[in-house]
Amino acid sequence: MSKVAVIQMQSTDQMQDNLTAAAGFIRSAAEQGARLAVLPENFAFLGRHERDKCQLAESFGAGPIQDFLAEQAVRHDIWLVAGSLPVKAMGDTSQPPEKVYAASLVYNSDGQCVARYDKIHLFDVEVPGRPGERYRESASLHAGDKLVVVKTPAGRLGLSICYDLRFPELYRELTAQGAELLAVPSAFTEATGQVHWDVLLKARAVENQCFVLAPNQWGRHPGGRRTYGASQILGPWGESLGRMAEGIGCVVAELDMEHLQEVRRGFPCLKHRRLPLDTES
């Protein structure tokens, strides 16, 4: 068994304040015995406008946000999943860049970045029933094109970010590649979170028979954006192992990998899958 943590934040457009807050939550997670902690999407910066993040974009492997993550991992002897931070495209020397990647980086307890996932599905939507609430991530983000599963002390972890949650085929492929845990760091909006957050997370846990680690942003942010919170950890049978409805802090839970294997052995739906099938034209 091993303990993991998900961290709920109320990030702002003041990067240093956000990093100071994150440091306190990482310390708390480590003090509670967590070997792996997952930060939410946009943990280091959540600006008034989509393009604001481009001002802080870092080259992969260098920059104050990445230095912070490496230092925290070593200080607390913990693995960290950095929900997302803005990373420049390779070779892009413009300042600020027109577009960046929303990159989720995984650091081991030696402070080494051992995995990187770039958000594949970009949040370009107009929220039904919320006139004027629209988002266009494609205006500031490049879309990623690779799935990532990384071995951690808590198990094999499949990476994703926020809007990816609505695409079950992504998680099925992560599971096919050996994922036992699924990370879903998010800044899920209040409007959509109220109706979809819990049910989508539970579905991803049940259908893939995986633990789901889902840290979210919470509350009101610069520019008036509101996020839902309800950061949580779910088991492979869909059971809740810990949930924080509101506020900021961390949720810590112990993962029983033998339980996961028992679920998969006794209810082997992953092996029963018969798709894709041939179709007649």
Quick check: 231 and 208 in contact, CB under 8 A? no
- In this predicted structure, what is the pLDDT of residue 16? 97
Q: Is 278 a member of any domain? A: no
Burial 127-138 (b: 16+ CB within 10 A, else e): eeeeeebebebe
Q: Is 128 a member of any domain? A: yes
Left, alpha or beta for 51 (phi > 0: left; psi -120 to 50: alpha)?
alpha
Domain count within the chain: 1
| Active-site option among 41, 137, 180, 190 | 41
Q: Is 279 a member of any domain? A: no
Q: What is the rounded CA–CA span in Å between residue 78 and residue 142? A: 30
Phi and psi at 35, nearest 5°, equal -100, -15
Quick check: 28 and 8 in contact, CB under 8 A? no
Q: Is 273 a member of any domain? A: no
| Active-site option among 88, 119, 137, 180 | 119
| Burial of 171 from C-beta contacts in 10 A (0-12 / 13-18 / 19+) | buried
> What is the per-residue pLDDT across 124-153, written as a single tens digit (0 to 9) for each?
999 888 887 899 999 999 999 999 999 999
What is the distance of C-alpha 38 from the center of its chain? 7
Task: Calculate ∠ Cα 189-136-60, nearest 5°.
Answer: 90
Cis? peptide before 97, omega within 30° of 0: no
Q: Is 277 a member of any domain? A: no
| Active-site option among 54, 113, 162, 250 | 162
> What is the per-residue pLDDT across 34-71, written as a single tens digit (0 to 9) for each?
999 999 999 999 998 888 999 999 999 999 999 999 99
Q: Is 73 a member of any domain? A: yes
The CATH number linked to 262 is 3.60.110.10
- Mean pLDDT for back-to-back runs of 10 residues, the chain (281 residues): 96 97 98 98 94 94 97 98 97 90 98 98 91 90 98 98 98 98 98 97 98 98 94 98 98 98 96 84 67
Parent domain of 194: 2-267
pTM (2 d.p.): 0.96
Q: Is 272 a member of any domain? A: no
- 119 catalytic? Reply is yes
- 41 catalytic? Reply is yes
- 190 catalytic? Reply is no
Residue 122: partners with Cβ closer than 8 Å, 6 or more residues away? 137, 138, 141, 143, 163
Q: What is the rounded CA–CA span in Å between residue 244 and residue 87? A: 29
Nearest-CA neighbor of 215 among 237, 242, 194?
242
Cis? peptide before 168, omega within 30° of 0: no
Q: Is 276 a member of any domain? A: no
